[in-house]
Amino acid sequence: MRVLDEYEPEEVTKSMTSAKCIRRVLEEFPDVMPAELPEDLPPRRRVDHAIEVMPGHDVGVTFLVLLGGYVWVKLFNSLTKRQILGQKLSRKIVHITSGLLFALCWPFFSVSPWARYLAALVPASNGVRLLVYGLGILKDDGLVKSLSREGDPRELLRGPLYYVVVLVFCTILFWRDSPTSIIALAMMCAGDGIADIVGRRFGSKKLLYNSDKSWAGSIAMFLFGFIVSLGCLWYFSFMGFYPFDLEAMGLQLAAVALAATLVESLPITNRLDDNLTVPLTTIILGLFLFPVKSTMTPLP
């Protein structure tokens, strides 16, 4: 029986996905354990190997992330109810953290083609929850208070609902195959979220073309959105999904962050919610600057 590194490179054709590679490796080397895989494999492939042989893995991860989302929002409900956090700040922290924490869970799903759809069930189920409480079918004052500006349940049907719809689309359309989805979520969650917090507090100098927005808020959005995008891209690169080359992508990322910041600053919020315009701008630009790649390159 050949050991792994006796695989001839041409035997691992370029068209093979990581799942096929690993399945072929497992067929050929059924007793290969992650510890015996070549040391220079990126961490992600070790997780792949383990996951490939664990049926029901994705269902378990989906359940854990769903539970995590419920607990996370419940935590801020409680902090708001006990007046430890103000309603506006609580809503913004949930806005900044929820979508990012959700995306950071993506690498723990398997390479199965169905993984993205299972993952999308998490924001989709939160969307159903927002509809049920936003339409008044059920009542939960704590949830409404922690996710709305003025405590009106119908507010859940705007910003928060658009937010989870964007999460569903980014998960299904892009998944881990392109940096675009990660950048879009970083700009929507971190960028738009920090603009509100910084802008309300330090935004005395308003923008010339929009007296509701400030220089401080927009500069904070650009800088924090750019930095969080870089951090997320580094994380997905560390997990083995695509290369992280600051020199190659830094300028393109700055251009995307600037475009999203400019769109957010426009006086169109009363008609078009930032939770739609910011990720949409990022995705349109990102598709040109960061082409969609296959999730993994075949094993060497």
Ligand X SMILES: Nc1ccn([C@@H]2O[C@H](COP(=O)(O)OP(=O)(O)OP(=O)(O)O)[C@@H](O)[C@H]2O)c(=O)n1
Ligand Y SMILES: C/C(=C\CO)CCC[C@H](C)CCC[C@H](C)CCCC(C)C
Q: Which residues bind ligand X (CB under 6 A)?
A: 91, 149, 159, 192, 195-196, 199-200, 203, 212-214, 217-218, 221, 264-265, 269, 274
Which amino acid, 221?
A: M
Q: Is 126 in the site for ligand Y (CB under 6 A)?
A: yes
Q: Is 225 in the site for ligand Y (CB under 6 A)?
A: no
- Cα separation of 38 and 40, whole Å? 6
C-alpha dihedral, 159 to 165 to 168 to 169, nearest 10°: -110
Q: How far is the CB of 299 from ligand Y (least distance, A)?
A: 30
Local structure of residue 19 (DSSP, 8 states):
H
The sign of the torsion formed by the CA atoms of 72, 121, 176, 275 equals: negative
Which amino acid, 157?
A: L
Could you tell me if 49 and 34 are in contact, meaning their C-beta atoms sit under 8 angstroms apart?
Answer: yes
H/E segment holding residue 206: strand 206-207
Q: How far is the CB of 286 from ligand X (least distance, A)?
A: 20
Could you tell me if 250 and 216 are in contact, meaning their C-beta atoms sit under 8 angstroms apart?
Answer: no
Q: Which is nearer to ligand X, 221 or 230 (CB)?
A: 221
The interface partner of residue 188, options being ligand Y, ligand X, none and the CB cut-off 5 to 8 Å by kind, is: none
Local structure of residue 187 (DSSP, 8 states):
I
Q: Is 105 in the site for ligand Y (CB under 6 A)?
A: yes
Q: Which is nearer to ligand Y, 18 or 110 (CB)?
A: 110
Give residues 73-102 in contact with ligand Y (rule: CB under 6 A).
Answer: 73, 91, 94-95, 98, 101-102
Q: Is 240 in the site for ligand Y (CB under 6 A)?
A: no
Could you tell me if 81 and 102 are in contact, meaning their C-beta atoms sit under 8 angstroms apart?
Answer: no
Interface map 156-175 toward ligand Y (x if CB under 6 A)? ---xx--xx--x--------
Query: Which positions lie near ligand Y, rule CB under 6 A?
Result: 65, 68-69, 72-73, 91, 94-95, 98, 101-102, 105, 122-123, 126, 130, 147, 159-160, 163-164, 167, 275
